[in-house]
Structure 1
Amino acid sequence: MSNQLSFRILEDIARDLSGEVVSFPTFLDITFQVRTALKNPQLTVDDLGRLVAAEPLMSTKVIRLANSAAINRGGRPIVDVRSAIARVGMEAVRTVSFAVAMEQLLNSKKMAAFQSLSGRLWEHTMHVAALSRVLARRFTRINVDEALFAGLVHDIGVFYLLSRAVSFPELVASPRELHQLLADWHDHIGHALLAAMGMPEELVLVVQEHEQERPVSNLSTLTDVVFVANRLANAEHGWRDAAFCELPDASIASAFFEPAALATLLAESTEDVTSLKAALGG
C-alpha cells in the first residue's frame, strides 16, 4: 500500500477513535441502544423486549437464537420476543445486536464493491462465533455466551475498516492494497474501537490478540478460546484472498488437537455451528 494512502486512512480513523466523542458508523447504532439499556440495573425482560421488538430484524434473530438447536435442547418452540429473551438471557441480546449491525453493514449498497470479501468475512465470523461457544462449553468453565460474543466481534476491526474504506476510491479499486490494510491493521483498529466503546478489558484483549502467534497448550482463557476457534475457522472459512495477501497459518489448530480428537470436535460441533449461523446470520 502506498504510504500516503495508508497514512490518510489511519490518520482519519485515529482522529475519530481518540476524540472525546467517537462518531461511530451508523451500523453500530442499534448496538449502542442495547448497550445503554443493559447498563440499567433496573432493566426488566419486558423493557428489553420492547426495545428489541421495535427492530424487526433483531427480534427475528433473538427468536431464532432461542429456538436454535444449540440453545433450545428441549425442543419447545418460542414464538415471542419476551420468552426468547427469557430463554437466551439479556446478555445474549447484545450478541444479536452486533450480528444485526454487522449484517446490515455488509448488505448495505455502499458495500457492494466489497461483496465477495464481505461474504467471506461474514461466513468466517459466524464460524468463529459458533466454534468459540462450542470450545468454551466442551473444554472450559468460561461462560458460553461470553465466548459466543467474543467470537462474533473478534474481527470487528475488519468490519470497521471496510466501512471507512468505501470513502477512498483508490482503495476500492485496489484489492491488494485493501487486503494489506485489513490484514495489517484490523486487530489494532478493533482493539481501539472496542476500547473506545467502553467494552471490558478481557474482550478488548481478545480482539487485540486473536491472531498473535503464541503457544497454546490448553484453553484457559477467553483469548485462548477465540484464538483456537479463529484458527479452526481459517482452515476452510477464512476471509482473506490468497491472490492478494498471505493466508494465516491454520496448522496450529490441528497441532493443538490430536487428529481423532479434532475430527470428533468438528463432527460433534456441526449442529451447533449450523444452528447458530442460521440464527445469527440467516
Structure 2
Amino acid sequence: MVNPVCYRILEDIARDLSGDEVTFPTFLDLTFRIRTALKNPDLAIEQLASLVGAEPLMSVRIMRMANSAALNSSGRPIADVKSAVTRVGIKAVRTVSFAVAMEQLLRSKKMAPFEALSHRLWDHTVLVAALCRVLARRLSPVNPDEAMFAGLVHDIGAFYLLSHAVNFPELLADHEEVIALLRQWHDNIGHALLSALGQPDEVLQAVLEHEQPRALSTVRTLADVVYLANRLADTRCSWSGDGGRGQLDGEALSGVIEGDALAMLLAEAEQEILSLKAGLGG
C-alpha cells in the first residue's frame, strides 16, 4: 500500500506530467533542447554554440574540455564557445550538457536534505553511463554515444522524484520511505518524464525496462545494454544501499560476458568515468 504522503507526491507528479510544461530545473531543459537541435542534420555550429552559450556553466565546462591536454595538443588555448564546440565535437556537447545539468541539481540547496542519497544516485548514474558506452562498443551494434546518453538518463525518474519529495516535510527525516518510493516508481516516472520531453522510443523502452530481470545470451538492443550496465553497476555502486540487489548470477550473463572479459570491461569503464569527470572539471 502506498504511504499517503508518497501518494500525494505521485499525484503531484501526475499533474505536472499531464500539463503543458514539465516542472524541472531549467538547466535540464537546456540539455533536451540541445539534444533536439542535434537531430537536425543541417544544424550549424553557430546555432549549437548559441545554445551552449546561453548557460554560463555549460560554456565554462565545454571550454575547459576543449583546452584540456587531451584535445589541445597544439597548446593554443581557445577563448570562444564556437571554437570550443568545434574542437570537442557535437556528441561530447550533448553528454556534457546533461552531466552538467545533473551536477547543478545535486548542488542545489533544495536537494540538501537528500544530499547523500542524491550523490549515490549520481555516482551510480555515471558508472552506468560509462558501462553503457563500453558495452555498446564491445558487445552490441548499438551506437556507443546513444548508449551513454541512455545510461545518463536511465534513473532520471529517481532524481525527478527526489526533486518533488523535498517539498514534503514529512519525508525529510524518513529516508527509508523515500528510497522505497524511488525503487517502486523511478522507472515508470522516468519513462513518463522522458516521454513528455519528447525522447525517442528506444530510450523510453530502455528506461522503463532497466530494472526488469531477464536472462541475456546476446546484447542486441539499447534496452539490453542499459539493463546489463545497470546490473553490473549495482554490484559496485547501488544507490539504494541494498548491496544484494545487484548481484549477478551465471544464468543472467550466460553467453554474454564472463571472467577476464568482465574485468577488462570494468577497467575500460573506469577510464570512461575519468574522461567524463575530467570534462566536467570534477
What TM-score bracket applies, with the shorter chain setting the length?
0.7 to 0.9
Report the CA distance between 1:118 and its aligned residue.
1.3
Compute the RMSD of aligned alpha carbons.
Answer: 2.7
The residue number in structure 1 matching 2:176 is 176
Q: Which moved more, 1:227-236 or 1:259-268?
A: 259-268
Q: Does the CA contact (< 8 Å) of 2:166 and 2:172 recur in 1? A: yes
Go from structure 1 to structure 2 and tell me whether the alpha carbon gap of 1:97 and 1:158 turns closer, same or farther (over 3 Å shift): same
- TM-score for both structures, normalised by structure 1: 0.87
Report the CA distance between 1:93 and its aligned residue.
2.3
The residue number in structure 1 matching 2:13 is 13
Q: Which moved more, 1:160-169 or 1:6-15?
A: 6-15
Q: How does 1:1-282 map to 2 (within 5 A)?
A: 3-35=3-35, 37-38=37-38, 42-63=42-63, 79-80=77-78, 81-242=81-242, 247-252=244-249, 256-280=256-280, 282=282
Percent identity reads 59
> In the aligned structure 2, how far is the partner of 1:33 from the partner of 1:199?
11
> In the aligned structure 2, how far is the partner of 1:16 from the partner of 1:201?
21
* Alignment gaps of 5+ in structure 2: none
Alignment-mate amino acid for residue 49 of structure 2: G
Go from structure 1 to structure 2 and tell me whether the alpha carbon gap of 1:53 and 1:74 turns closer, same or farther (over 3 Å shift): closer
* Alignment gaps of 5+ in structure 1: none
Report the CA distance between 1:74 and its aligned residue.
9.5
> In the aligned structure 1, how far is the partner of 2:32 from the partner of 2:267?
36
Report the CA distance between 1:151 and its aligned residue.
0.6
Report the CA distance between 1:7 and its aligned residue.
1.4
> In the aligned structure 2, how far is the partner of 1:178 from the partner of 1:78?
49
> In the aligned structure 2, how far is the partner of 1:150 from the partner of 1:126?
11
Secondary structure at the residue paired with 2:236?
helix
Report the CA distance between 1:141 and its aligned residue.
2.7
Alignment-mate amino acid for residue 249 of structure 1: G
Q: Does the CA contact (< 8 Å) of 2:231 and 2:246 recur in 1? A: yes
Q: Does the CA contact (< 8 Å) of 1:157 and 1:187 recur in 2? A: yes
Q: Does the CA contact (< 8 Å) of 1:63 and 1:79 recur in 2? A: no
Q: Does the CA contact (< 8 Å) of 1:46 and 1:82 recur in 2? A: yes
Higher relative contact order (CA 8 A, sep 6+): 1
Go from structure 1 to structure 2 and tell me whether the alpha carbon gap of 1:188 and 1:78 turns closer, same or farther (over 3 Å shift): farther
Alignment-mate amino acid for residue 113 of structure 1: P
Q: Does the CA contact (< 8 Å) of 2:133 and 2:145 recur in 1? A: yes
Secondary structure at the residue paired with 1:194?
helix
Tell me which stretches of 4 or more aligned residues in structure 1 moved more than 4 Å: 39-42, 63-69, 72-79, 252-256
Report the CA distance between 1:156 and its aligned residue.
0.3
Q: Which moved more, 1:133-142 or 1:248-257?
A: 248-257
Q: Which moved more, 1:207-216 or 1:266-275?
A: 266-275
Report the CA distance between 1:51 and its aligned residue.
2.5
